[in-house]
Amino acid sequence: QPLEEVVGSALAACRPVLQGRPVTVALADGLPLLSLDAVLFERVLVNLLENAARYTPAGSALAIRAEALDQTVRLVVDDQGPGLPPGREEALFEKFERGERESATPGVGLGLAISRAIVQAHGGTIHGANRLEGGRVAGARFTIELPRGTPPEDDGSAAAAADEDIR
Ligand SMILES: Nc1ncnc2c1ncn2[C@@H]1O[C@H](COP(=O)(O)OP(=O)(O)O)[C@@H](O)[C@H]1O
Ligand SMILES: [Mg+2]
């Protein structure tokens, strides 16, 4: 799957909740195709975008970036909200864990737990952190890394090898 398509469909699905927000998307050129379940992975991005829409001030900007590293493709979602409760960045990925100040906002605390389960099922990792600028929290950052996997070959040799296996 091209990452562009999954990011595009997640953004389209979130359009109603993201209204009025500037969203920057910067996907590096030549990202490798990824072996992923598009429906489930879209759910991961939708969870992150819905959280950003819910827990950051209306109209504040979001940024999505992706780049290829040696072994992985890294996808980063940044917001400009109040950030994650310090020291609880990992705990928020547990089922039913929510921030204190969120208790008044509807939600059950499952979004990040589900997101992590999906990313891990793809052999990847997901973490949350606060972005610091000048010693101050400038917003939350969620980072996903997915294994690059083996790109499909198109010279016919992969198909021939599969044929051999069957025989
Ligand atoms: N972008 C964000 N900015 C600030 N806090 C966040 C953000 N995303 C998630 N959180 C915190 O993580 C908690 C858990 O998120 P999640 O698992 O999606 O559950 P829910 O959204 O139902 O509370 C939220 O309640 C909130 O405290
Ligand atoms: Mg949520």
pLDDT in tens, 140-152: 999 999 999 765 5
Per the structure, the count of domains in the chain is 1
For ligand 1, whether the C-beta of 55 sits within 6 Å is: yes
Instruction: Find, among 159, 154, 151, 160, the residue nearest to 1 by Cα.
Output: 151
Ligand nearest to the CA of 85: 1
How far is the C-alpha of 53 from the C-alpha of 19, rounded, in Å? Answer: 9
> Tell me: the pLDDT tens digits for 8-24?
999 999 999 999 899 99
For ligand 1, whether the C-beta of 51 sits within 6 Å is: yes
- Type of residue found at 102: E
- At residue 88 the predicted structure's pLDDT band, cuts being 50, 70 and 90, is very high
If one counts every other C-beta atom within 10 angstroms of the C-beta of residue 129, the result is 13
Tokens of 118: 């999906």
Q: What is the pLDDT of residue 80?
A: 98
More confident residue, 146 or 153: 146
The arithmetic mean of pLDDT across residues 73-102, rounded, is: 94
Query: Which residue segment(s) compose the domain that 42 sits in?
Result: 3-166
Mutating to test ligand 1, I would choose from 18, 51, 105, 108 the residue with most ligand atoms within 8 A of its C-beta, which is 51
pLDDT of 167 strictly over 80: no
How far is the C-alpha of 136 from the C-alpha of 62, rounded, in Å? Answer: 18
pLDDT of 62 strictly over 80: yes
Mutating to test ligand 1, I would choose from 55, 95, 96 the residue with most ligand atoms within 8 A of its C-beta, which is 55
Burial of 61 (0-12, 13-18, 19+ CB in 10 A): middle
Q: What is the pLDDT of residue 162?
A: 59
Ligand 1 centroid to Cα of residue 53, in Å, is 10
- Nearest ligand 1 atom, CA 47: 18
Q: Specify the CATH number for the domain of residue 25.
A: 3.30.565.10
Q: What is the pLDDT of residue 136?
A: 95
For ligand 1, whether the C-beta of 139 sits within 6 Å is: no
pLDDT of 104 strictly over 80: no
Q: Which residues of 10-46 are buried (b: 16+ CB within 10 A; e: fewer)?
A: bbebbeeebeebeeeeebeeebeebebeeebbbbbbb
The arithmetic mean of pLDDT across residues 28-43, rounded, is: 95
